[in-house]
């Protein structure tokens, strides 16, 4: 694998100041990764300044949506790290998305090297408060200039980074039960992280916001009977003291956070079930008080409590919590592992080296 460090990045990095107010995904790091795919092979991995792209108006991504992405974080809390968290899981999911969208897969080494290199060079800009991080966004899109409906032969893989605070500023989410539209269908693209899945959910996001909700809860496409997930996160509920999450089928995104929480819950001795979860069953359990907790989880949101679920006619099912929250125990455990505050018995944390200074001063050499 050939790697090229653009000498202009030294100036970009030295000019960059981390703003005092960050938010999520608003501030972009001054460097990024770019790598092109042509004639059935991946080319040089480039670390370049963050700058606009030049693309043909007929690049296939603009017309047929051949695009995939990932979301992951690097942590550097209290001078620890920087740590990446289970990056190989994102790499595997990236390739699953690529296969589903008729795109080339990326060698594991290329993906991992890209996120490590970018983290290494962005290390001085990783915020150090617990819950803050460097959000990393690997993505790939079709660049071939051609209007025919056929898979592209040319692609670009890129990674950008954003020093970020937590995704939600509010405490608990009010969630709209979406009874009209669906996010994914059996045999569709729901399991892939591809832009169209998210674009298709945006009208519901607007409707939810106008009705005073912060998120959409998606139901199954056939009968609107079963709970699936939210637009960018998986869901867990606690019913009769048992932690429950919908089983994946092929319509729900296989979240890395979801998988971590299942493992942590098992190790914490929490009674757990992965199964079909009826929306009727959930509403009844909230009304009788049997459902004592619900929370959303994902890389961006970590673990975020849900206050309740509502309909577009104004009905709201508020969850009556009882005592200690399983979600907050899981959130604390997960964050402690991600941020290096707890011994990692799972082998999930990857330390990233900090030698960016020496490499930057070499400017442009192949390493």
Residues engaged in binding ligand PLP (CB under 6 A): 71, 229, 231-234, 253, 255-258, 298-299
**What minimum distance in Å lies between the beta carbon of 317 and ligand PLP?**
22
Contact yes or no for 277/234 (Cβ under 8 A) = no
Structure tokens at 352: 């990233």
Whose Cβ is closer to ligand PLP: residue 152's or residue 251's?
251
Residues 66, 101: Cα–Cα separation, whole Å: 6
Whose Cβ is closer to ligand PLP: residue 218's or residue 309's?
218
**What minimum distance in Å lies between the beta carbon of 299 and ligand PLP?**
3
Structure tokens at 323: 């005592």
Residues 306, 291: Cα–Cα separation, whole Å: 12
Whose Cβ is closer to ligand PLP: residue 59's or residue 136's?
136
**What minimum distance in Å lies between the beta carbon of 166 and ligand PLP?**
14
Residues 361, 367: Cα–Cα separation, whole Å: 13
Whose Cβ is closer to ligand PLP: residue 49's or residue 196's?
196
Look at the block and give the residue holding tokens 């929480």.
261
**What minimum distance in Å lies between the beta carbon of 303 and ligand PLP?**
10
**What minimum distance in Å lies between the beta carbon of 13 and ligand PLP?**
28
Burial of 347 (0-12, 13-18, 19+ CB in 10 A): exposed
The torsion of the CA quartet 228, 229, 230, 236, rounded to 10 degrees, works out to 130
Beta-ladder partners of 173: 306
Whose Cβ is closer to ligand PLP: residue 114's or residue 299's?
299
């Amino acid at each position: 694998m050939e790697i090229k460090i653009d000498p202009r990045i030294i100036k970009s990095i030295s000019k960059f100041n981390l703003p005092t107010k960050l938010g999520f995904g608003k501030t972009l790091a001054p460097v990024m990764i770019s790598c092109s795919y042509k004639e059935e092979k991946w080319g040089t991995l480039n670390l370049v300044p963050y700058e606009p792209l030049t693309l043909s108006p007929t690049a296939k991504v603009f017309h047929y949506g051949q695009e995939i992405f990932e979301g992951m974080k690097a942590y550097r809390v209290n001078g620890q790290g920087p740590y990446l968290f289970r990056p190989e899981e994102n790499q595997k999911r990236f390739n699953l998305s690529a296969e589903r969208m008729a795109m080339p897969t990326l060698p594991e080494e290329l993906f991992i090297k890209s996120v490590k290199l970018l983290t290494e060079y962005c290390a001085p800009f990783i915020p150090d408060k617990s819950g803050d991080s460097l959000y990393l966004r690997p993505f790939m899109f079709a660049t071939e200039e051609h209007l025919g409906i056929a898979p592209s032969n040319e692609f670009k893989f890129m990674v950008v980074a954003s020093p970020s605070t937590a995704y939600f500023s509010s405490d608990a989410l009010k969630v709209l039960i979406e009874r009209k539209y669906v996010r994914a269908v059996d045999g569709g693209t729901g399991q892939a992280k591809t832009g169209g899945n998210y674009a298709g959910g945006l009208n519901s996001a607007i409707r939810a916001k106008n009705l005073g909700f912060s998120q959409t809860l998606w139901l199954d496409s056939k009968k609107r009977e079963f709970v699936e997930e939210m637009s960018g996160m998986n869901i867990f509920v606690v019913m009769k003291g048992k932690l429950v999450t919908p089983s994946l089928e092929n319509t729900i995104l296989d979240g890395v956070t979801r998988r971590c929480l299942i493992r942590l819950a098992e190790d914490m001795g929490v009674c757990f079930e992965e199964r079909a979860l009826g929306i009727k069953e959930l509403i009844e359990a909230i009304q009788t008080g049997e459902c004592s907790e619900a929370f959303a989880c994902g890389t961006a949101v970590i673990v975020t409590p849900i206050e309740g679920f509502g309909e577009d006619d104004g009905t709201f099912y508020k969850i009556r919590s009882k005592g200690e929250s399983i979600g907050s125990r899981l959130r604390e455990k997960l964050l402690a592992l991600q941020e290096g505050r707890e011994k990692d018995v799972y082998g999930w944390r990857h330390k990233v080296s900090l030698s960016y200074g020496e490499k930057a001063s070499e400017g442009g050499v192949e390493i």
